[in-house]
Structure 1
């Protein structure tokens, strides 16, 4: 049994921590992590609950492969109802926290209610207790982690916490573990803050026991690691350049959203690329990138560790930012850079550090700044309102607004509501580049058509990790499809969505899917877990998870009208590059997608579909 079969239930209102058995019938249907935690949320919360009320629950969950020798088996997810979107939120993080939860003997921690005062949860194997965190409230994620480790006199304790953004209920606040890994999207940090829960500190010394067939598991994981090592993306590209390897690639194909999606290519893309991070600076002869880094059990090691130029205007007088820190990844570099027309690599790294330090999603933050800068250039927002001049391309404005949003000062409070609410307030909702209230990641769907359907139908709002058709449309993985056509994209998106749900539910990183198909994951699950885990069953599990999330959203009030894109992407053609003259053809893809999914024309799963999936 790769599951520990134990759930820790924490009632924050009553201050109690109790253990209960994991529902193994559900585990057989939903596997773990994203799938299983969503099942618990769906069963235990009203879909219409206010995300920031005590009635909402927040679930931290591992998968059966988390903490094992499976490559990338360090993932955990946070599932809740998201405040940014009002839809199901499921945010995934790497680092070492997930594996530690498993080593402590727990598959899942369910938080309910609201503590009357700030607390943190301390777990040491089967011992779990809530401790006073009043003196930690107001501290950053970095300070919180350091303080807890000192207090417990244990440098190996793993900490997951919120910064001031989560406390201030910034709607895209995230939960940060291991200093620069984050459950990043949909505002899970704001939910944690609304519960007066500052942090979770874990220490586990049990290891993961009970793999069903250990010799077979050993063989399956070794075979799978070989596949990763021999693949050009997971064996070479990601270890060397990280996800930032994509900056120049996506810019060249005319799909790099620039200045709030006004443009599809950024003239300064090369200045904020992976290659630029490797180049020696004129100021001090050092490169921004120091080394790569890996999460627990990962053989890819795509993480970045970077160091700033001490003379840069952002950190000149702040020695605390001179040390090595988590470096830029592609989505963050895009959102903080091209989305705002900012080509200053050091300014991007500074803003990125603030996002890590105070727990903010850099994608939603950066994309919201893009909307602010466009409103400023239109004269809708003024210097007096924002507090600074904020034209596209201003590194100073980016840095200042990152500081304001992290601390909740001045106009930072408005930025912290996300672009959908901010643009609506100032009379231009069409300028929010979002779906269901969540901002787009770093791919323009006029140049990569499948991503338009991916964004529009994603259950957690605009997201690339729910169906990364870029793999097929740009990188040719597992097959090459034409990024400029809508044909065949509904099948592609559905296949990616279902498969990704299984990767997430297993407790492994979705980046393995650059090299692995489900056929590489299946032998690992079959050897680790009790029961039958055939390919047929895994495909069904992925589809079941997707449809369950959809049902929850439908019950929360979402309809087919919410499976849309901003008018800019469907009415304003790309001006340059291979996609010149094209808009996204969502109207062609969506009806076919519903049909393939077994949904009605209104985007509701049919009775037959639900019966087939046991929903």
Structure 2
């Protein structure tokens, strides 16, 4: 079976590192990664715990397909109670770190307690120990990774770490590995910082050899890779344009949130999308996009590597930013660009680079800047408070805010609390475009109705990666549905939520779902883990994971009142485009969603649902 069968438990208070066997009875019910780590977390912490207290725990976890030859099998998750939302936090990352942990012989690492001084965990196959990190504290993610590799005299060590944002407990601090791959959302990096944990360095040389049926696994993974290769999205669109291919598509259908969701289309979309990245600049004749890049085992290669014009104002006299670095994904380009009315592509990349360098979620950061700019537009915030003129569209303001938030200086400290707390402090909580305290990604739910229900019911706060109904409503995958109607959306959202939980827990990338369904994942899991993983069983696992997360949130204090959207989306109709005159139809969708979920009118699991799922 494809699990390593071992976990590391690190007590940061006592300074101990111990090995223990994986609970295989739980692995059969929750699979791995997101599902299995969440099971451990909810069993071991009080749901009402303060996320930044010593009593919270944080877990790094791989899935059974992580480190194998399954396409995109390099994913890992970081699971904790999130400080941005107070809800369950599960943030997923690619790169090479997850596969390295698995190859070192570990399924997951659980951290509990808090260290009195900065430390990092070093893992070299079976050898694991805490090391002093005083020399790393105050360093960026990039510096930390370089220092650790040099100190271990091994360039192949993989590092998962925090930058200044995590140290300063920015509530949307990310955990970053391989320089620009991130477990980005919900503030998992702040929990890491609260425990004085700077990094986990891992080197694995064992490989993943315990596949249940090796010959069948080789056969079926080859077959499924061919499906990815032949698909228009995973075989052509994403490799060529990355996720940025969506910028013009979503803008043209009137669902690109602009200037803090005041508008649904951005006049500068063409200047910050995939086409602009691939077009030579007028200033230096060079393309911003250098190449694409793949994570471990990935046959899609959607990642972007990008360069900033050396003469751009953001990098003037800053040669450390002149080289190629992790480039703009669609969500980041939207949050740093359209959400703020900024159409300067190099300014967006500069802010994105700072997010990578210091470990910040660009979605929450950019969306929070959108709220700041609207408060400035209203006269609630002033130039004296912000340190700069912050009109919508100001690339200078965007760059300034990225710098002071990354460093934890001045008004950047308030930005680091996220839009919900910031807008509430200044008397306009309705201007926070968030659910459960987490900011929306790049889809306006007046133009894509299913995403409104997705956001409202997401267990980790507003999120597109828990139910990407855009696939169906916009791209026609697996079937085309009308984005402007509420009809059928409760069933669609539930199906996406449950399937996504299974994909995540297997240890593969959710982008494979543009070409694969659960029926494609199931034979890979069965060949790797055992024949008991039937399609029906895998579907049930996804549903079980979703309901487990929901139950934790309910015990943490969340109710049906938290399954809502900002008034702007429920009461202010879209001004232009196909959705003109529409608001989101959440009140129509939510009761039916509760009903098919097997929840009562308060959003609590019914006894029959608990019994059926074994919760």
The equivalent residue for 1:434 is 434
Measured in 2, the distance between the counterparts of 1:282 and 1:265 equals 25
Residues 1:326 and 2:326 are matched in the alignment: yes
Residues 1:232 and 2:204 are matched in the alignment: no
**1:160 aligns to what SS in structure 2?**
strand
The equivalent residue for 1:150 is 150
The equivalent residue for 2:203 is 203
The equivalent residue for 1:4 is 4
Residues 1:336 and 2:336 are matched in the alignment: yes
The equivalent residue for 1:15 is 15
Once the two structures are superposed, residues 172-218 of structure 1 have per-residue CA deviations (whole angstroms, 9 ceiling, x without a partner) of 00000000000000000000000000000000000001100011000
Shift in Å, 1:403: 0.2
**1:314 aligns to what SS in structure 2?**
helix
Structure 1 alignment gaps of length 5 or more: none
Q: TM-score, normalised by structure 2?
A: 1.00
Measured in 1, the distance between the counterparts of 2:59 and 2:238 equals 30
The equivalent residue for 1:282 is 282
Measured in 1, the distance between the counterparts of 2:84 and 2:463 equals 13
Measured in 2, the distance between the counterparts of 1:218 and 1:145 equals 34
Aligned pairs for 1:92-103 (under 5 A) are 92-103=92-103
Measured in 2, the distance between the counterparts of 1:88 and 1:298 equals 28
The equivalent residue for 1:495 is 495
The equivalent residue for 1:267 is 267
The equivalent residue for 1:382 is 382
Aligned pairs for 1:182-201 (under 5 A) are 182-201=182-201
The equivalent residue for 1:541 is 541
**1:100 aligns to what SS in structure 2?**
helix
Shift in Å, 1:135: 1.2
Aligned pairs for 1:56-75 (under 5 A) are 56-75=56-75
The equivalent residue for 1:421 is 421
Once the two structures are superposed, residues 368-409 of structure 1 have per-residue CA deviations (whole angstroms, 9 ceiling, x without a partner) of 000000000100000111111111000000000000000000
Aligned pairs for 1:273-312 (under 5 A) are 273-312=273-312
Measured in 2, the distance between the counterparts of 1:376 and 1:273 equals 27
**1:172 aligns to what SS in structure 2?**
coil
Q: TM-score, normalised by structure 1?
A: 1.00
Moved over 2 A (4+): none
Shift in Å, 1:499: 0.1
Shift in Å, 1:284: 1.3
Measured in 1, the distance between the counterparts of 2:52 and 2:477 equals 40
Measured in 2, the distance between the counterparts of 1:608 and 1:78 equals 31
Measured in 1, the distance between the counterparts of 2:326 and 2:219 equals 34
Aligned pairs for 1:337-486 (under 5 A) are 337-486=337-486
**2:160 aligns to what SS in structure 1?**
strand
Measured in 2, the distance between the counterparts of 1:430 and 1:94 equals 34
Shift in Å, 1:531: 4.7
Measured in 1, the distance between the counterparts of 2:530 and 2:232 equals 34
Once the two structures are superposed, residues 260-307 of structure 1 have per-residue CA deviations (whole angstroms, 9 ceiling, x without a partner) of 000000000000000000000112111000000000000000000011
The equivalent residue for 2:519 is 519
The equivalent residue for 1:174 is 174
Once the two structures are superposed, residues 477-505 of structure 1 have per-residue CA deviations (whole angstroms, 9 ceiling, x without a partner) of 00000000000000000000000000000
Once the two structures are superposed, residues 20-44 of structure 1 have per-residue CA deviations (whole angstroms, 9 ceiling, x without a partner) of 0000000000000000000000000
Aligned pairs for 1:77-96 (under 5 A) are 77-96=77-96
Measured in 2, the distance between the counterparts of 1:108 and 1:606 equals 32
Once the two structures are superposed, residues 295-348 of structure 1 have per-residue CA deviations (whole angstroms, 9 ceiling, x without a partner) of 000000000001110000000110000011000000000000000000000000
Shift in Å, 1:553: 0.1
Count of aligned pairs: 615
Structure 2 alignment gaps of length 5 or more: none
The equivalent residue for 1:257 is 257
